[in-house]
Amino acid sequence: MADEALSIKGIREGLLLTIKPDVGEWPEIATKVAERIDEQRAFFKGARMALDVGSRIVRHDELDSMKAVLTNREITLWAVISSSETTLTAARNFGLETTLITHNDEQLETTPVNPEEAGLPGIVIARTLRNGRSVRNNGHVIIHGDVNPGAEIIAGGSVFVWGKLRGNVHAGANGDETAVVCALDLAPTQLRIAGYVTVSPEDKRRKPRPEIASVREGRIVAIAWND
């Protein structure tokens, strides 16, 4: 049952799936990963997983297929480690971390250097997120571009969009009700902060304006930046 091509072990940050860089084709590996998880599906369910592929070149679509295998089994892929720049680019395109160094809350609390500077890390994506694209990050997410309908952002922290936000967005996904969502044009299909949900008002002729959405008195409120 031990398979030389891949191994899964527990690490401090969750699970680490290691795939040998030189053994097997990607579709077979994806199948093997699926089989391995299915053997103990309940155990893996809800887990956070990092993926180490060594020097293997994993293209965007290949990474997408692996993400799908994991997502279908309710496993969150959050990081990809590789020495291949192509692989790392693909990982960043999905908004994944490319290092295992996490800035979790404990760390922040144990090193309170200056309260004003303490905060979650974020990722910056300098392109438009189109339909079908999903960005997940435990920290903040900053998009320099639009977020089109059908794209989604799920962030542990806040979401900042320097562009039009029309897709789905979930800020404070781990329960942080202080998270906010800002956009130059805030018109998401659905907007969630922590456990609250709202949709954009149907107002087609409105003028685009920068807005910031936050939770106030138990519901999500959007306020124009220049009000």
Partner 1 sequence: MDARVITVTSGKGGVGKTTTTANLAAAFAMLGRQVCCIDADIGLRNLDLILGLESRIVYDIVDVVEGRCKPRQALIRHKYLPELYLIPAAQTRDKTSVSPTQMAQVVRELRPDFHFILIDSPAGIERGFRNAIAPADEVLIVTNPEVSAVRDADRIVGLLEADTRRLPMRLVINRVKADMVRRGEMLSADDIIDILSISLIGIIPDDENVLIAGNKGTPDPNSKAGQAFRNIARRLMGEEVPFVELEDSSNILSKIRRIFGG
- What angle (nearest 5°) sits at the alpha carbon of residue 173, between those of residues 183 and 8? 125
Size of the site for partner 1 (CB under 8 A): 17
* For partner 1, the closer CB: 12 or 205: 205
Site for partner 1 in 87-106 (CB under 8 A): 93
| Least distance in angstroms from the C-beta of 84 to partner 1 | 13
Contact assessment for residue 56 and residue 90, using Cβ atoms and an 8 Å cutoff: no
Site for partner 1 in 132-191 (CB under 8 A): 132-133, 146, 148-150, 166
With CB under 8 A as the contact rule, the residue among 41, 127, 216, 219 that binds partner 1 is 127
* For partner 1, the closer CB: 55 or 104: 55
* By CB under 8 A, residue 131 contacts partner 1: yes
* For partner 1, the closer CB: 61 or 74: 61
* For partner 1, the closer CB: 54 or 150: 150
* By CB under 8 A, residue 62 contacts partner 1: no
* For partner 1, the closer CB: 64 or 177: 64
With CB under 8 A as the contact rule, the residue among 60, 73, 92, 209 that binds partner 1 is 60
Q: CB under 8 Å to 198, separation ≥6 — which residues?
A: 190, 191, 192, 213, 219, 220
Cα end-to-end span (Å), the chain: 63
* For partner 1, the closer CB: 18 or 200: 200
* By CB under 8 A, residue 27 contacts partner 1: no
* For partner 1, the closer CB: 31 or 86: 86
- Distance, in Å, from the CA atom of 132 to the CA atom of 67, rounded to the nearest integer, reads 13
| Least distance in angstroms from the C-beta of 164 to partner 1 | 8
Q: Which residues bind partner 1 (CB under 8 A)?
A: 59-61, 86, 93, 127-133, 146, 148-150, 166
